[in-house]
Structure 1
Amino acid sequence: MSLTVFPSIHIDRGKVVHLVEDQVVPETGETDPLAVALKFQAQGASWVHLVAVSERLHDTDLATVVRIVGSLRIGVQALFCSVTDDDTLRRALRTGCARLNLGSAALSDPDWCARAVAEHGDRLGVSALVRTTPQGPRVAADGGAGDVGDLWPILDRLAGAGCARCLVTDIGREGMLTGPNLSLFRDVCARTAMPVLAAGGIRGLDDLRAVAALGPRGVTGAVVGRALYTGALSLSEALAL
């Protein structure tokens, strides 16, 4: 099974930012998300992963995603942390992104989330920010301060609704370049048949090889962010791998 690499672009009010342990950090280089997306496309990416980090659905971020979708020849997977109901979902889908992932705010309403993924099929997936605790993996709220619930029943409900994919991010490793939580990804794959996208901590080619080795277990993609911006990882080398 091949691994799809998703270069990630986090945006806030139309500017590129980063999430480091779920805290927003401004980008010090290129801040235009479209320019970054075009660079990733030129380097050979087949997808880009856009994350609108604000807890409110801003028109600026919606317009930014529309602009990127209209300018690229490759797939756009988007995540709006503010999508929590039918209205915000419709507005997010109208951006034209090929895939949309629901975030932790949506997961706090499991019944609505299950209905949404059942209605929209392959176009809709979910994103789980996971915090490892002595009691097991928990889904963290967007912003990292709150707790949505135990990861396993949430995944069971989504799988039962026919969810197309689950993006799993270890919140303690996001943006930290400390290596991916491979045991978490293995555990998720053992508990669900949903395709899994792995994120958090990926810092180089060795980490990507380790994530790719989980392909037979159900990991189909890796979302890579901070390593691409710091130069720790070359996207062209990652795609070649």
Structure 2
Amino acid sequence: MQILPAIDLKEGFAVRLLKGEMSSAKIYSNEPEILAKNFKDLGAKWLHIVDLDGAFAGKPVNFKVIEKIVKSTDLNVQIGGGIRDEERIKRYLDLGVKRLILGSIALKEPKFVANMAKLYPIVVGIDAKDGYVATEGWASVSNIKATELAKKFADVGVKAIICTDIGRDGTLSGVNVDFTLEIAKESGIETIASGGVKDINDIIALKNTDKIGGVIVGKAYYEGRIDLKDAFLRLG
């Protein structure tokens, strides 16, 4: 199971939100590329980046900052936020990004995502509020259950599904293990947990299921709740 440290970008700064509310953004760094280097030194192999402004705008906004981050590290980088067409997928791949996260478009145009998954390293991002899919930077909640959407990508070739429990994101209240397992069961593909990770015990609980492919760690690291170096050593 992989631990993926997270860098969420808002106006070029590395921030964390509370339950997806942009107004709650807390700035942790104005040099996100330095954070990436630190994660590498701690033992990370992957880096999870979200263009928060892009998620709301429907197009990449922090591209220049992301370019700087990618060029500053040899970590495997996966990017999400505002990726809605093939041109942007190619642009990120040309930059050196390893995987692309398709979120809002996965609900609106699942066939497009399936087609892209045949050509490129695609990850589907399923963000849910009370079990229902949220899109547009979590500003809109649909009437589609997260598990229903996960089923649609069971056999189309996506590399993984990242499932986020919005109600726990940024709260340090503990990851939703049951929700993650449900998504993994319905999709049958690698599932990465996101939202609410509070300490090493959450990571151990996910690892002990033997069914979860990874976990995204953000605020718990930034607030000093988790020693990532120790966490990477524990996972071997």
| TM-score normalised by length of structure 1 | 0.88
How far apart in 2 are the matches of 1:95 and 1:127?
21
2:15–2:25 CA contact under 8 A, matched in 1: yes
1:170 counterpart = 2:153: no
* Other structure's SS at 1:174 match: coil
Taking a change above 3 Å as real, the CA distance of residues 65 and 28 of structure 1, as seen in their structure-2 partners, is: closer
Q: 2:126 aligns with which of 118, 125, 128?
A: 128
How far apart in 2 are the matches of 1:152 and 1:207?
22
In the TM superposition, what is the alpha-carbon distance from 1:225 to its structure 2 partner?
A: 0.3
Structure 2 equivalent of residue 108 of structure 1: 108
Q: Which residues of structure 2 form unaligned runs of 5+? A: none
How far apart in 2 are the matches of 1:46 and 1:177?
23
Q: 1:143 aligns with which of 124, 137, 145?
A: 137
1:127 is matched by which residue type in structure 2? Answer: G
How far apart in 1 are the matches of 2:136 and 2:19?
11
Count of residues in correspondence between the two structures? 229
* Other structure's SS at 2:118 match: helix
In the TM superposition, what is the alpha-carbon distance from 1:19 to its structure 2 partner?
A: 2.2
1:209 counterpart = 2:187: no
In the TM superposition, what is the alpha-carbon distance from 1:65 to its structure 2 partner?
A: 1.7
Q: CA RMSD in A?
A: 1.7
Q: What per-residue deviation string (whole Å, max 9, x for no partner) do you get for residues 64-101 of structure 1?
A: 2222222112211111x211122333333333211111
1:236 counterpart = 2:229: yes
Q: What per-residue deviation string (whole Å, max 9, x for no partner) do you get for residues 46-81 of structure 1?
A: 11111111123345x1122222222112211111x2
How far apart in 2 are the matches of 1:40 and 1:67?
15
1:223 counterpart = 2:224: no
How far apart in 1 are the matches of 2:171 and 2:189?
27
* Other structure's SS at 1:73 match: coil
2:89–2:100 CA contact under 8 A, matched in 1: no
Range moving further from structure 2, 36-45 or 194-203: 36-45
1:89 counterpart = 2:89: yes
In the TM superposition, what is the alpha-carbon distance from 1:166 to its structure 2 partner?
A: 0.3
Q: Which residues of structure 1 form unaligned runs of 5+? A: none
Q: What per-residue deviation string (whole Å, max 9, x for no partner) do you get for residues 102-144 of structure 1?
A: 1224432222122112221xx2111110122xxxx21111332
How far apart in 2 are the matches of 1:82 and 1:160?
24
1:70 is matched by which residue type in structure 2? Answer: K
How far apart in 2 are the matches of 1:110 and 1:47?
26
Range moving further from structure 2, 147-156 or 11-20: 147-156
